[in-house]
C-alpha cells in the first residue's frame, strides 16, 4: 500500500510528537461511529482516490464520513424515484425486478395496498420516512428484513369541560379512597 505509506509519512511530518494522540482520536471516532472493518476499508479506498487530487491529511471526522458510502454510491434512487417505482409496481411487487432492495422494503413497510389505493398526499410522507430508514440501513450494511416501528400519531388534545373534569376526579378519588389536599374526601 504505497499510498498508505505516504499517508503515514505525511501524518508523522504533520503531527510529530502528537502523532499518538491524533491516532487515538481517529480510533475513538471510528469506534463512536460504530464502523465495521468493511466500512473502514471503504474509507481507506476513498482516501486513496482522494489522495491523487487533494491534500494528504484528513481529520478524523472527514475520515469517518469517507468510511460511510452515500446512498447514491450504493445505487439507491432518490426518494421520489423510489416512490414512483413502488406506486407503479406495487400491485404485484413479487413480479417486479426492483432497482434496490431498500426500495422494495420501503414499499412493503408503507403498504402495497395503501400505495395503490390512497392518495399521494396520504402515502408520500410515510413512504419517505420508511425509505430514509431503509437507506440508512443500506449505508450501514444492515438487513431490510426487520420491520420499521410505526411513527406515533400526533397527540390529540381535546379539552374537557371544567365541571366534567371535576366530576371525573371526584369519582376517581371515591373509587380509590383518595383525599384532597385539605384532607377531605371531596
109-120 pLDDT per residue, tens? 999 999 999 999
Range in 8-17, 54-63, 65-74, 151-160 the model is least confident about? 8-17
Instruction: Judge whether 73 lies within some domain.
Output: no
Instruction: Judge whether 41 lies within some domain.
Output: yes
Max mean pLDDT range (31-45, 57-71, 103-117): 103-117
Angle at 78 between CA 73 and CA 79, to 5 degrees: 135
Whole-number pLDDT of residue 127 = 95
Please tell me whether residues 131 and 94 are part of one structural domain.
Answer: yes
Domains contained in the chain, number: 2
pLDDT exceeds 60 at position 8: no
Q: Under the phi-then-psi rule, with left for phi > 0, alpha for psi from -120 to 50, and beta for the rest, what region is 16?
A: left
pLDDT exceeds 70 at position 173: yes
Which residue did the predictor score with more confidence, 155 or 41? 41
Please tell me whether residues 62 and 109 are part of one structural domain.
Answer: no
CB-CB neighbours of 66 under 10 Å: 19
Whole-number pLDDT of residue 50 = 79
DSSP state of 177: T
DSSP state of 184: -
Whole-number pLDDT of residue 160 = 76
Please tell me whether residues 43 and 94 are part of one structural domain.
Answer: no
68's grid cell: 460511510
Domain that holds residue 63: 18-68
Q: Give the rounded percent of residues in the chain with a pLDDT score beyond 90.
A: 32
Please tell me whether residues 36 and 62 are part of one structural domain.
Answer: yes
Whole-number pLDDT of residue 6 = 47
| Under 8 Å between Cβ of 84 and 58 | no
Please tell me whether residues 85 and 131 are part of one structural domain.
Answer: yes
Which residue did the predictor score with more confidence, 78 or 182? 78
Range in 66-70, 118-122, 174-178 the model is least confident about? 66-70
Please tell me whether residues 54 and 87 are part of one structural domain.
Answer: no
Query: pTM for the full model?
Result: 0.55
Amino acid at each position: 500500500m504505497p499510498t498508505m505509506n505516504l499517508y503515514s509519512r505525511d501524518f508523522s511530518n504533520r503531527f510529530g510528537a502528537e502523532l499518538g494522540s491524533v491516532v487515538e482520536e481517529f480510533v475513538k471516532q471510528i469506534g463512536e461511529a460504530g464502523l465495521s472493518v468493511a466500512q473502514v476499508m471503504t474509507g481507506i479506498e476513498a482516501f486513496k482516490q482522494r489522495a491523487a487530487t487533494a491534500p494528504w491529511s484528513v481529520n478524523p471526522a472527514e475520515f469517518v464520513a469517507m468510511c460511510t458510502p452515500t446512498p447514491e454510491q450504493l445505487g439507491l434512487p432518490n426518494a421520489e424515484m423510489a416512490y414512483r417505482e413502488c406506486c407503479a409496481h406495487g400491485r404485484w411487487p413479487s413480479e417486479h425486478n426492483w432497482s434496490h432492495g431498500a426500495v422494495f422494503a420501503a414499499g412493503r413497510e408503507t403498504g402495497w395496498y395503501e400505495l395503490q389505493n390512497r392518495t399521494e398526499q396520504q402515502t408520500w410522507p410515510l413512504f419517505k420516512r420508511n425509505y430514509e430508514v431503509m437507506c440508512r440501513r443500506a449505508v450501514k450494511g444492515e438487513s431490510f428484513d426487520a420491520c420499521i416501528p410505526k411513527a406515533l400519531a400526533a397527540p390529540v388534545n381535546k379539552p374537557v369541560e371544567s365541571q366534567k373534569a371535576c366530576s371525573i376526579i371526584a369519582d376517581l378519588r371515591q373509587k380509590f379512597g383518595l383525599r384532597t389536599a385539605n384532607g377531605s374526601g371531596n
